[in-house]
């Protein structure tokens, strides 16, 4: 039997190869595919409410012969949720890793922030502006990022993968591979619209929150209870838990996929009985 496909969507600013340790842990059982860097294809430029990024994801999923398990971290989880609402036939299920499902009140705040010019204060865009982009070599970059609070609890292999794949060689050293202007633009266009009523989602969905996350808050989980096959869990770590605990994250994902597949198989056998 051919392996089922996991299609992974990364967090903003973190090229997909940063998650190689997580992919390798899934690899013996699942074929892992991904877009290297969301928002960098000129055919799908970043625009309002990430609609082009959702279109980009759907475009790639349409190339698959079979539906996929959609797994996304932060930005990536939101993209999969929107895509699954639009094209559920492309999915076996969706796992959102520290990705919020915004309430109506959240959407109003974001809409106002865009209109009145304070979106950079309620998203990481403000902290991204002016961030260091260039380094003399990999050792200097490693020292710099290892000291930053966002990276401090990374699994060592994941931090090394970020240094390897998140930077690219230039004539004078290394520079961030993920275009900083694109990263800021993604933050500034965070959706203030709904992908559709949560109870209408036709595929299983799991929202997994990092125990110490400041991104997914308690009220962001409310919609999960309205999804017919929705569930909510927590993992050790913060917003970056897939890169802090990649092996534990892989085991959790595999447990979802197996359980959902068993339920689907059981339901199918009842339908043909």
Axis crossing angle, helix 51-61 with helix 75-86, rounded to the nearest 10: 70
CB atoms near residue 62 (< 10 Å): 9
Output b/e per residue, 220-250; b: 16+ Cβ within 10 A: bbebbeebeebbbebbebbbbbbbbbbebbb
- Can you give the CATH number for the domain in which 234 is found? 3.40.50.1820
What is the structure's pLDDT at 271? Answer: 58
What is the structure's pLDDT at 1? Answer: 43
What is the structure's pLDDT at 126? Answer: 87
Asked if 246 contacts 19 with a C-beta cutoff of 8 angstroms, the reply is yes
Asked if 74 contacts 12 with a C-beta cutoff of 8 angstroms, the reply is yes
pLDDT in tens, the chain (273 residues): 457 999 999 999 999 999 999 999 998 889 999 999 999 999 999 999 999 999 999 999 999 999 999 999 999 999 999 999 999 999 999 999 999 999 999 999 999 999 999 999 999 998 888 889 999 999 999 999 999 999 999 999 999 999 999 999 998 899 999 999 999 999 999 999 999 999 999 999 999 999 999 999 989 988 898 899 999 999 999 999 999 999 999 999 999 999 998 776 556 555 555
Query: Alpha-carbon distance 56 to 45, whole Å?
Result: 9
Name the residue range of residue 128's domain.
Answer: 4-272
What is the structure's pLDDT at 250? Answer: 98
118's tokens: 């304070």
- Domain count for the chain, please give it: 1
Phi/psi at 42 (5° precision): -60, -20
């Amino acid at each position: 039997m051919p392996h089922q496909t996991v299609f992974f969507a990364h967090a903003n600013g973190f090229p997909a190869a940063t998650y190689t340790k997580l992919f390798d842990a899934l690899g013996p059982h699942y074929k892992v595919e991904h877009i290297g860097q969301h928002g960098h294809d000129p055919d799908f430029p970043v625009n309002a409410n990430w609609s082009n990024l959702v279109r980009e994801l759907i475009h790639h999923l349409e190339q698959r012969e079979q539906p996929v398990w959609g797994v996304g971290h932060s930005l990536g989880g939101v993209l999969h949720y929107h895509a699954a609402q639009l094209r559920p036939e492309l999915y076996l299920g969706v796992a959102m890793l520290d990705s919020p499902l915004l309430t109506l009140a959240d959407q109003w705040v974001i809409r106002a922030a865009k209109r009145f010019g304070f979106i950079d204060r309620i998203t990481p865009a403000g902290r991204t502006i002016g961030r260091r982009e260039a380094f003399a070599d990999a050792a200097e970059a490693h020292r710099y990022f290892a000291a930053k609070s966002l990276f401090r609890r990374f699994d060592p292999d994941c931090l090394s993968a970020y240094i390897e794949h998140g930077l690219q060689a230039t004539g004078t050293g290394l520079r961030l591979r993920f275009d900083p202007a694109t990263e800021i633009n993604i933050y500034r266009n965070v959706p203030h619209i709904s992908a559709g009523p949560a109870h209408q989602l036709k595929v299983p969905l799991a929202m997994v929150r990092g125990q110490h996350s400041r991104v997914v808050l308690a009220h962001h989980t409310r919609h999960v209870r309205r999804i017919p096959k929705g569930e909510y869990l927590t993992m050790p770590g913060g917003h970056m838990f897939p890169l802090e605990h990649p092996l534990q994250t892989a085991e959790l994902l595999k447990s979802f996929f197996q359980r959902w597949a068993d339920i689907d198989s059981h339901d199918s056998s009842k339908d043909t009985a």
